[in-house]
Structure 1
């Protein structure tokens, strides 16, 4: 299926975007709603953005580089809702996919996006400690299911995960993927100018040792957009990813160019994913449309002729449809 970004510091890869996208079709088990929003800091210092179905009149709200229309002072509905956790790209934060989060909330989902500790736009000191990311995502799931004040409104048996770039790698690893990081040496010898290789030059680390077991069985479905480190997976490394996967590739991705990333993941998954290609899109077109295109052109501007707002209307609808189908409430 075809639905295309530009090079820039991926250390900024998911800052703040604008969800100026029409509401997606509602999930099968939930009526159309507005989106409520809150920002929290967990007991261990993790920043989390949370969206949920709400009623009332939404108001426009700026969120860093981005913006959203959400209902202020809304309450979490009492019914049980599926949960989607979100993982941003290297150097981003929780707000990078705000339009997709709003679309999911309007469709009946509760959505939680974390700012990865040590790999965000304020602090990227641990950006190459990629093994920290799936652990942080699982910590977010535990927080939402047990400590978040609205946790009683979440169905713990219907949890999905969405990730972009390094976040795409994160959700695949959290679903059971085990990369072979020793492949990095050969990859960077052949492609020294690729983003991961230039990042490793600034933050060297040893890639020896087996990947630790960190599959989170609570994750029942995954959406991975332009997943980083795809070349580090083979069939054995993805053999334990048994959940449904929706996989996206930007055809003009200059940060994670084909065929070393999404295409490798597609070929290695034990069950073929729902695969989407996006002609004309660059890497950062998976980020929400920016409220001000001039604020950070390297992230906000798309290639001439590519309409990011129009693309996201389709992208958000496809993500909502996939999770609504895969996390459908079982019949009694």
Structure 2
């Protein structure tokens, strides 16, 4: 055997030795895979990911890690644990992405769920535009198309409990999830909210900087998108709550959990309590939980060491800077526990 091939063979067998295929179900890391979603309303495939309880495994690797984010370790392409598992759909916020929420997806998978996330074109990392942000109907259609595909995918469908489908969204993702359970958003109400709060409204400020005419939003902003396959939902710091119509809020029948972050540094755009849009009191099956000290961006992944200081020096968004006294990892664990209890997942699995 030639030296180069011998070296390759030794590396291959060494890799198999350090990452063996095991017979028992794995409970230290979740399984992870990816697939493309073909959607009629999009010109290109939508990137989607799936986290799940792993059975036999091949190898593990970090997902979503880079010079800013820590990312999450997963068993790539592992077999799925036998049985029927609850399905959780996950929608990221403006400028976010599916792998950046791996800290949440992986832990829900370790507690028994199959978590399907996706990258929304036009509002995902590296492809996020203010003028494409108001297309709430397109985002909801992304979720519906992803749900259609995963339920027909022979690799995943046999493991899904079709009677136990939930949806989680953060920020603009929370807006998307509310739209999917029947909430509609009114252009006039949104313009009035932006006039009232001015630049203090983070979503309005973002749209204005992109040249969006807040008095003439796209028709897609207020389309109906209800999907009755979703039996419960979680809206984490959802945006655009002031634009929700009273009639649509009154018609919501499925349970909704609202999760807030922080107290003194509450974002106007995401305040669903009595000092804000008061969504939690206007939906009859709504409940809420709040975690502090924290703020809106605390929900994002944990950052690499010293990144917060570097971003501050560069004048970048404070995505890694939390309020004094905040323990981002602790807030994440508390959110995981809250969501797991709400979804009746196995808290002992992690």
Q: What is the aligned-residue RMSD (CA, Å)?
A: 2.7
Deviation of 1:317 after TM superposition, in Å, equals: 1.2
Cα deviation, 1:122-168, whole Å, max 9, x if unaligned, reads 21241222221111111111111113632221122211000000011
Query: 5 Å matches for 1:157-168?
Result: 157-168=163-174
Where has structure 1 moved over 6 Å in runs of 4 or more?
none
Cross-structure match for 1:95: 99
Long gaps (5+) in structure 1: 1-29, 326-332
In the superposition, relative to structure 1, how do residues 79 and 140 fare at CA in structure 2: closer, same or farther (>3 Å)?
same
Give me the whole-angstrom Cα distance separating, in 2, the residues matched to 1:148 and 1:263: 42
The answer to whether the Cα contact below 8 Å between 1:33 and 1:108 also exists between their aligned partners in 2 is no
**Under a length normalisation based on structure 1, what TM-score does the superposition of the two structures give?**
0.81
Q: Determine the C-alpha separation between the residues in 2 that align with 1:113 and 1:316.
A: 16
- Which structure has more helix as a fraction of its residues? 2
Deviation at 1:234, TM superposition (A): 4.3
For the residue of structure 2 that corresponds to 1:266, the secondary structure is helix
Report the CA distance between 1:307 and its aligned residue.
0.5
- The structural deviation recorded for 1:255 is 6.1
TM-score calculated relative to the size of structure 2: 0.77
Whether 2:207 is the aligned partner of 1:204: answer no
Equivalent position SS for 2:303: coil
Q: What's 2:54 paired with?
A: 54
**2:133 corresponds to 1:127:** yes
What is the aligned counterpart of 2:32 among 32, 37, 42?
37
Aligned partner of 1:270 among 269, 284, 305: 284
Greater C-alpha radius of gyration = 2
Specify the alignment match of 2:147 in structure 1.
141
- Aligned residue for 1:116, secondary structure, equals coil
| Distance (whole Å) between structure 2 residues aligned to residue 158 and residue 277 of structure 1 | 25
Between 1 and 2, higher relative CO (CA 8 Å, sep ≥ 6) is seen in: 1
Structure 1 residues 100 and 262, CA gap change in structure 2 (3 angstroms): farther
Q: Which runs of 5+ in 2 are unaligned?
A: 1-24, 39-43, 313-317, 346-350
Question: Residues 183-217 of structure 1, C-alpha deviation per residue, up to 9 Å, x if partnerless?
Answer: 12211112220222122221425237693221000
1:1-332 correspondence runs (5 A): 34-43=29-38, 44-55=44-55, 59=60, 61-64=62-65, 65-125=69-129, 126-147=132-153, 149-193=155-199, 194-201=201-208, 202-205=210-213, 206-207=216-217, 211-250=222-261, 251=263, 252-254=265-267, 256=269, 258=271, 263-271=277-285, 273-292=286-305, 294=307, 298-324=318-344
Number of aligned residue pairs: 296
8 Å CA contact 1:182, 1:208 repeated in 2: no
